[in-house]
Amino acid sequence: MPRVIDLTLPLASGAKGICIEPAKRLETDGWNASTLCLYSHCGTHIDAPVHFGVGTETIDTIDVANFTGPAWVADVRPIEPRALIEPQHLGAIAEKFKPGESLLICTGWSTYYGQEQYRQELPRISEELAQWCVENKVRMLGVEPPSVADVNNIEELTTIHKILFEGGVIVVEGLANLTSVSKPQVTFIALPLKIAAGDGAPARAVAIEES
């Protein structure tokens, strides 16, 4: 049987960009229900090109077929805080990669979720690696930090996202549990909420390992 690994952060009320409040209660209304208030880029999420003003493609207009397919898992551990991830970190994967496949970068960074360093000291995708992704026609680039670039550096943030979006690469951020993946290649599925005209959306992401 295939092994399915959940790569998704839990959406817990009180976390950055997440507020969940009871709307109905079993005891008084006959059923339980909640009201969700979610930042469009909270937890595990997918960016749309309009997030950084690249074209007009919103999250609901991206072809759903682009959210699944074969993916390589590049384990770049150990990685220093604020380190730049370069093409050479991909090792043998760089030679095996085929156009249309996806690339997941395992840094172990999701273990810091909820801590200050998760956002403030994240390892980032270099311009060279972003260009490599475009040149090699990466379908989805998935990372564990909350962003592919330094969230405190608007110039870097804009540059990296624009390189990827203009090159047709789908950006998946906030992945978790990549350290649990035992095979170098998996089937990767990351399905965002279909938010009309959305600049991004939370997603449920999984990796499937064939036995």
Any idea where the domains of the chain sit in the sequence? 3-11+40-209
Average pLDDT over residues 91-104: 97
Residue with tokens 């399915």: 4
Rounded distance, CA 172 to CA 203, Å? 9
What is the per-residue pLDDT across 101-146, written as a single tens digit (0 to 9) for each?
999 999 999 999 999 999 999 999 999 999 999 999 999 999 999 9
User: What H or E segment, with its residue span, contains residue 185?
Assistant: strand 185-192
Q: What pTM was computed for the model?
A: 0.97
What class does CATH assign to 3-11+40-209?
alpha beta
